[in-house]
Amino acid sequence: MARFGRQRILGRVVVLLMIIVALAVAGLFWFDYLGLIDAKSFFAPALRLVGLPTRSGTALPADSPTLLDDERWAKQLEAVAALRQELDQRDLSAAEREAAIEAMAQELKDREEALAERENSFNSLTQRYDDRRANVEQNARYLTGMPPADAVEILVAMDDQTVIDVLRSVEELAAKSGEASVVSYWLSLMPADRSAEIQRKMNAKPASLD
């Protein structure tokens, strides 16, 4: 009886050991499938006996066509990435330069408009000056042909600056024609205070039609 019991226990131990070994082998192959270990290389002889595929265990040569293609492809990807980064930087720089050029163009346009406006204003002032000068000269000729008393009466009704411009035009016309100027005589016919004020302004301010 004791001998029969020991045989049963030994049989159970053997069965348990076989189960443990089978589980260990299965675990190794599972880890091999997951890529954690290389179990097939270790069990290659046994696998070949049962006709299962095994790994050769040899690494690809350094001059493998596939390896070179992979390296070349990786380098091309790096070059493309670098080129894309460079193009992005160029686009950014181009956008900044375009914005600067647009700002400069707008500034030039504003300057041109301001210059054109000043030119128009200057031309307008020049035209007004020429027109007023022509009118003043015409009045001077007209008043010179009138009796002195009537001419002085018209002058007294004018503002001081207009009177000064007319008197100076009369003097210029007299100088051009070589005749004597009637300005002094006209001033003597004016009221004393008005005559003094006009002469003071004429001496204080040079000839002007402003």
Residues 194 and 120 in one domain: yes
Residue 177 forms part of a structural domain: yes
Instruction: Check: CB of residue 143 under 8 Å from CB of residue 154.
Output: yes
CATH number at residue 144: 1.25.60
Residues 46 and 124 in one domain: no
Residues 50 and 125 in one domain: no
Residue 79 forms part of a structural domain: no
Residues 107 and 199 in one domain: yes
**Full DSSP string of the chain:** -HHHHHHHHHHHHHHHHHHHHHHHHHHHHHHHHHTSS-HHHHTHHHHHHTT-------PPPTT-HHHHHHHHHHHHHHHHHHHHHHHHHHHHHHHHHHHHHHHHHHHHHHHHHHHHHHHHHHHHHHHHHHHHHHHHHHHHHHHHTS-HHHHHHHHHTS-HHHHHHHHHHHHHHHHHHTPPP-HHHHHHHS-HHHHHHHHHHHHHS-S---
Residue 60 forms part of a structural domain: no
How far apart, in whole angstroms, are the C-alpha atoms of residue 41 and residue 188?
136
Instruction: Check: CB of residue 166 under 8 Å from CB of residue 155.
Output: yes
Residues 114 and 34 in one domain: no
Residues 122 and 198 in one domain: yes
The pair of structure tokens assigned to 100 is: 């600067």
Q: Output the tens digit of pLDDT for each of the chain's 210 residues.
A: 445 556 677 778 778 888 888 887 777 667 666 656 665 565 566 555 655 555 554 444 555 556 566 667 777 888 888 888 888 888 888 888 888 898 888 888 888 888 888 888 777 777 776 677 888 888 888 888 889 999 889 989 989 888 899 999 899 888 888 888 898 899 899 999 998 999 998 888 655 544
The total number of structural domains that make up the chain: 2
Residue 122 forms part of a structural domain: yes
Other Cβ atoms less than 10 A from the Cβ of 137: the count is 16
| pTM: predicted TM-score of the whole model, two decimal places | 0.41
**pLDDT at residue number 209:** 47
How far apart, in whole angstroms, are the C-alpha atoms of residue 189 and residue 163?
14
**pLDDT at residue number 147:** 92
Among the three residues 17, 38, 55, which one is the final residue of a domain in this structure?
Answer: 55
Residue 88 forms part of a structural domain: no
Residues 110 and 194 in one domain: yes
Residues 108 and 195 in one domain: yes
Residue 194 sits in which domain range? Answer: 102-204
Residues 50 and 111 in one domain: no
Instruction: Check: CB of residue 170 under 8 Å from CB of residue 140.
Output: yes
Residue 23 forms part of a structural domain: yes
Residue 195 forms part of a structural domain: yes
Residues 106 and 31 in one domain: no
Residue 95 forms part of a structural domain: no
Residues 23 and 110 in one domain: no
